Amino acid sequence: MGIYDRDYYQGDELRPLRPWDNRSMVTLLIFANVAVFLMNYLFFQRAAPGAGLMDLLALRSDSLFHPLQWYRFVSYGFAHDPRSIFHILFNMLSLYFLGRNVEDKYGKWEFFRFYMVTIIVCGLVWALLRLGQGAGPASVIGASGAVTAVALMFVYSFPQATLLLYGIIPVKAWLLGVIIIVTNVFSSNEHVATDVHLVGAAFATAYFFGKWNFSSAGHWFDGMRTQVKQRRRGLKVHRPGVEQADQAASPSKDESESDRILEKIHREGKDSLTSRERKFLERYSREIREKRKQL
Q: pLDDT tens-digit profile of 64-107?
A: 999 999 999 999 999 998 888 999 999 999 999 999 999 999 99
CA distance 193 to 142: 9
CA distance 106 to 193: 28
Q: Mean of the pLDDT values across residues 30-56?
A: 83
What is the pLDDT, as a whole number, of residue 121? 97
- Our measurement of the distance from residue 55's CA atom to the centroid of its chain's CA atoms, rounded to an integer in Å, reads 26
Q: pTM score, two decimals?
A: 0.71
For residue 170, list its beta bridge partners. Answer: 164
Which secondary structure element, helix H or strand E, spans residue 82, and what is its range?
none
Give the residue range(s) of CATH 1.20.1540.10 domains in the chain: 10-209
What is the pLDDT, as a whole number, of residue 242? 46
pLDDT digits 0-9 by tens, 4-27 = 344 433 445 566 555 556 679 999
SS3 content of the chain, % helix, strand, coil (to 5): 65, 5, 30
**Strands (DSSP E) found in 185-290:** none
Amino acid identity, position 116 = M
Q: Mean of the pLDDT values across residues 246-266?
A: 70
127 band by pLDDT with thresholds 50, 70 and 90: very high
Q: Mean of the pLDDT values across residues 149-167?
A: 92
CA distance 106 to 126: 27
Is a pLDDT exceeding 70 seen at residue 240?
A: no
Q: Mean of the pLDDT values across residues 23-44?
A: 92
CA distance 176 to 287: 42
pLDDT digits 0-9 by tens, 188-204 = 777 788 999 999 999 99
Q: Both ends of the chain: CA-CA distance in Å?
A: 13
268 vs 42, which has greater pLDDT?
42
> Is residue 173 helix, strand or coil?
helix
Which among 270, 205, 267, 208 is positioned nearest to 11, based on CA atoms?
270
Q: What is the mean pLDDT of the chain?
A: 81
Amino acid identity, position 145 = G
Q: Mean of the pLDDT values across residues 34-47?
A: 85
Helices (H), 44-172: 53-57, 72-75, 85-106, 108-129, 144-157
Indicate the CATH number of 10-209 among 3.90.79.10, 1.20.1250.20, 3.90.600.10, 1.20.1540.10: 1.20.1540.10
Q: Mean of the pLDDT values across residues 272-292?
A: 78
Q: Mean of the pLDDT values across residues 174-183?
A: 94
